[in-house]
Structure 1
Amino acid sequence: MKKYDVIIIGWGKGGKTLANKLGLSNKKVAIIEKDPKMVGGTCINVGCLPTKSYTHYSHVFVETSKLGYKTSYETGKKAYVKTLKHKLEFVKKLNQKNFELLNKNKNVDIYMGSAKFLSDYEVEVNLNSNKKKVKLTAKNIIIGTGSVSRKLNIEGAAKSRFVKYSNDILNLRTLPKKLLVVGAGFIGLEFASYFANFGTQVTVAQYNSDFMPNEDKEDSKFILDTLKKQGIKFEFNTTCEKFKDLKSQVQVSLSNKTKKYKEKFDAVLISAGRIPNTLNLGLENTKIKVLDNKAIEVNKYLQTNVKGIYAIGDVKGGPMFTYISLDDYRIVSDQLLKTKKNRNLDNRPLVPTNVFIRPSFARVGLNLKQAKELNLQGCYAKTILTSSIPKAHVINELEGFNKLIFNKQNQLIGVSLFSYVAHEIVNVFSLMIQNKMTFEEIKDYIYSHPVYTEMLNDL
């Protein structure tokens, strides 16, 4: 049994950052990762970064049509293959960079293998290299095993060559001519958007009538109408009942309130959300409490019900974002290094949300719907259409809106943005909300020109 100060299970954003920080602080650390291809976590390998690469280059492809170049499925297919090549190259580099970060830290031992709890403070690692098992112990253990795609129990899905989840579809070698996306959540919409940009005929099937149900109704409708104009087909109140592989396509049996029908697709993406990855961790051998949704229960300091054992990132449930995992690292680091900063979930700063469609959607703080639900009186919205912004005309990106929510004290409490740079400027608005800036302060600020944010002078 080898003893450590800290054992970290999972090499994601929070886990690797914490391991490096603790190692540099002279703590003896063990980090365990079962999949070499996941060193660095979901974000750099099969999540945020590779998908945003496709998003970016699909936008570039669309932009060429504004200069008179012909865009079609055939030209999109070539652009897609070049993007795939770029994606594979930079993901490999980042994966290696993340490995080297900890490999050069003399206080961090790396174990490539599967971790399993034997008891509260004992972990067994089944090593990938030689299948030998080693036992480790520590008074502090961090669980950062992330999340996995939710599987749907649809006939034929498990055996189909054409049915994919988010991890798999990133590596499709050729651009599908027809794609079915099952699920209209944020992840599904991002994939639907970039495939459509490259020229794929995309259909999104949603089992109910929901589309961005947490947003203000008029905002959701604006975004849905925009995506439809881009050629994305939406089938609401529609369920997939069966997948049947043909020679080069998959036949999908679908049904809605009025009919049952079959349609052929080159690929299917099942995007039904993600669930915490707690399977096969041996948590049943511990006193660690796991909730019904598979998430590990934690307090405001991310400690489980077992002293010294923490859960960070997706595995604890809640918003599943890389930047949440990074902030989780800060909370746990403060606890283990006793910095007395008292960082915790209760005093966490505002968390922005981005959806990388075309144009981007981003939000931070409250929208009008949420303000009403909280019974906040006197709240009002100021909306600026993107088409009224000079910079939007410069780059010929006129679609979208920019909606600011103020309380009765005229303080900014939220923004909903649907514009070319929404994902960037949302962070500026987050700071404005955090600093309780007022309508007049925001309106009369000096912004440079020509930029998107100068729209605020026109509030």
Structure 2
Amino acid sequence: MANKTFTIPDIGNFDSVEVIEIHVKAGDSVKTDDALITLESEKASMDIPATFDGIVQELLLKVGDKVKQGDNILSYDIIGAKETKPAETKSSSTKPIEPTNNNDDAYDVVVLGSGPGGYTAAFRAADLGLKVALIERFSSIGGVCLNVGCIPSKALLHMAKVITEAEDASHHGIKFNKPEIDLEKIREWKNNDVVGKLTGGLSQMAGQRKVTVIEGYGKFTGSNSIDVEDKDKKTTKVNFNSAIIAVGSKPIVIPNTPDHANIIDSTGALEFKDIPERMLIVGGGIIGLEMGTVYDALGSKITVVELADGLIQGCDRDLVRPLQKRMEKRFESIHLNTKVVEIKADGDNLKVTFENKDGQFEDTFNKVLISVGRTPNGKLINAELAGVNVDDRGFINVDRQFKTNVPHIYAIGDVIGQPMLAHKATHEAKIAAEVIAGEKVEYQANVIPSVAYTDPEVAWVGVTENEAKQNNIEIEKSAFPWAASGRALSNNRTEGLTKLIFDKQTKRLIGAGIVGVNAGELIAEACMAIEMGADAQDIGLTIHPHPTLSESVAMASEVYEGTITDLFIRKR
């Protein structure tokens, strides 16, 4: 036997982490990979595993202690086999990465951009045993989604839901006082308790995976190199064998819009500096309507202007209708088939000129949110110096393995085209990383779901009715109204609808749409059903829990099969 001391290994960028649990005691027999202790930072918790087979002699810390890398955990005696070093993650590749750069300091993979696609690609590549660098221009990992997009907006939408549900409770005989809004506390909660924990957790996992995070603005200087300029204008050259472009997108700016503090984009809306009395949202898409939902709940009078004839273009009208009906009751006004002709500063306010078929009209607002879509960042990284083709709009064309026209340079996420969604980017990221590591994989997903996290939520996946008509796809559909759902009735939210679309020939599910509370959670069942080639019987004969909103998917299938008993459908 040999007496040894076991210490805290590399735990990322943390120098004072609390011990919250100890899993062993003196005299215990321990095997490699057994959890010894659990640590918890403000961002995440983690187990520290043993790298030895032996017997614990003495614990050298206690619950509540603050520890860092190198601090002693326990002393132990080795039994039998020699002590092992912490395991290195080996690639399960069928073929090792083929270097295209003879520089010894080159990374196997450099990922440009650390959004959901970027950090996923970096982490997956590291897990496969590759030497990885992750370049991010901002100080925290996570990109738009985690910092100024998906995550903070959902935090605020949750807050808005609490407020509106309290208002609706008055219809059930429960009345609450008007909420007191503390913007500073809301910002602190959003930034620290939500965004900070997630981005901090990502930084920790980057350290655990030995991913080198380089802060600065990265641009290609050749087919195997990127220059990264930090905030002090200092440039670092990063060499690579393979690269993954994951630079995302940015909000579209309307030409000739004045530079005014109260004209904001989605990032500005999430900063939450104030609650304007009257707010105009230019664009009736998902992002604008989500922000409208938040500010409406907080007391702003919301006006929406949309150039097209309906909100959320691309989604079937029967799904949008319940949302629009509720918004028409809550919002000040919704102008469809209307364009913004001019926005002029009027002191702190903004005078806006609109135009529709009846002519021009004006109105004044305290704040204007421009939300008319996003444009890719493909033209901002000197991709042409690496030989990568970028089209006039900033998109980069790729194949099913996400290779660009330069075989060792890949692209994923918003920069390769619609839909610009985080869950699409993360799926693509794993494939790109695995291809680089030698795996024989390619993109094979059939569908990508879309969700508007409004109130009610709207979610759809696969073929829509509109798409079927445009492409002459023969379909059959069924729908279940939530007015017949016991759970929806008990929630007093009966405006919902679950619709399923089947291929007329194969009878398989090829599309679905749901509008109602938590539609974004419910759509996942339809996603899996489509991917698995399920038909109405497969779904309808699956026993769903009752009473739930999820059983509306089964009931819509029963409507299609003609076996529904929760509705009376007259036989033809």
Whether 1:321 aligns to 2:321 is no
Task: Return the match for 1:154 from 256, 269, 272.
Answer: 256
Task: Return the match for 1:44 from 125, 143, 146.
Answer: 146
Matched residue of 2:216: which SS?
Answer: strand
Whether 1:207 aligns to 2:307 is yes
Whether 1:403 aligns to 2:499 is yes
Number of the residue aligned with 1:23: 126
Q: 2:501 is aligned with what amino acid?
A: I
* Structure 1 pair 269–323 and aligned structure 2 pair: CA distance change class (3 A): same
Alignment of 1:269-284 (within 5 A): 269-284=369-384
Distance 2:513 2:149 in 1: 24
Kept in 2: contact 1:245–1:251 (CA 8 A): yes
Distance 1:83 1:403 in 2: 37
Number of the residue aligned with 1:226: 326
Number of the residue aligned with 2:457: 360
Shift of 1:368: 2.2
Number of the residue aligned with 2:411: 311
Shift of 1:210: 4.0
Whether 1:85 aligns to 2:188 is yes
Shift of 1:354: 0.5
Kept in 2: contact 1:81–1:174 (CA 8 A): no
Structure 2 gaps of 5+ residues are: 1-102, 560-572
Number of the residue aligned with 2:470: 373
Shift of 1:164: 0.2
Distance 1:215 1:123 in 2: 40
RMSD between superposed Cα atoms in Å: 2.1
Distance 2:175 2:365 in 1: 25
Number of the residue aligned with 2:6: none
Kept in 2: contact 1:334–1:343 (CA 8 A): no
Task: Return the match for 1:337 from 424, 434, 437.
Answer: 437
Distance 1:373 1:154 in 2: 35
Task: Return the match for 1:101 from 195, 205, 208.
Answer: 205
Higher helix share: 1
Shift of 1:213: 3.5
Kept in 2: contact 1:330–1:343 (CA 8 A): no
Whether 1:186 aligns to 2:186 is no
**CA deviation profile, 1:281-308 (whole Å, cap 9, x unmatched):** 1223232100122111111111110120
Whether 1:386 aligns to 2:485 is no
Task: Return the match for 1:13 from 112, 116, 119.
Answer: 116
Task: Return the match for 1:113 from 206, 216, 234.
Answer: 216
Task: Return the match for 1:452 from 546, 549, 555.
Answer: 549
* Structure 1 pair 81–133 and aligned structure 2 pair: CA distance change class (3 A): closer
* Structure 1 pair 407–105 and aligned structure 2 pair: CA distance change class (3 A): closer
Kept in 2: contact 1:400–1:419 (CA 8 A): yes
Q: 2:115 is aligned with what amino acid?
A: G
Distance 1:293 1:241 in 2: 24
Q: Rg bigger for which structure?
A: 2
Number of the residue aligned with 2:514: 417
Number of the residue aligned with 1:163: 263
Kept in 2: contact 1:62–1:198 (CA 8 A): no
Amino-acid identity (%):
28
Kept in 1: contact 2:512–2:526 (CA 8 A): yes
* Structure 1 pair 228–306 and aligned structure 2 pair: CA distance change class (3 A): same
- TM-score, normalised to structure 1's length? 0.91
* Structure 1 pair 279–446 and aligned structure 2 pair: CA distance change class (3 A): same
Distance 1:279 1:95 in 2: 27
Distance 2:551 2:457 in 1: 18
* Structure 1 pair 412–21 and aligned structure 2 pair: CA distance change class (3 A): closer
Whether 1:142 aligns to 2:244 is yes
Q: Which moved more, 1:97-106 or 1:58-67?
A: 97-106
Shift of 1:76: 5.6
Shift of 1:41: 1.5
Kept in 2: contact 1:196–1:232 (CA 8 A): no
Distance 2:228 2:316 in 1: 48
Structure 1 gaps of 5+ residues are: none
Kept in 2: contact 1:160–1:243 (CA 8 A): no
Kept in 1: contact 2:303–2:331 (CA 8 A): no
Alignment of 1:119-138 (within 5 A): 119-128=222-231, 130-138=232-240
Matched residue of 2:209: which SS?
Answer: coil
Q: Which moved more, 1:193-202 or 1:205-214?
A: 205-214
Aligned residues: 448
Q: Which moved more, 1:193-202 or 1:347-356?
A: 193-202
Matched residue of 1:384: which SS?
Answer: strand
- TM-score, normalised to structure 2's length? 0.74
Distance 2:255 2:484 in 1: 47
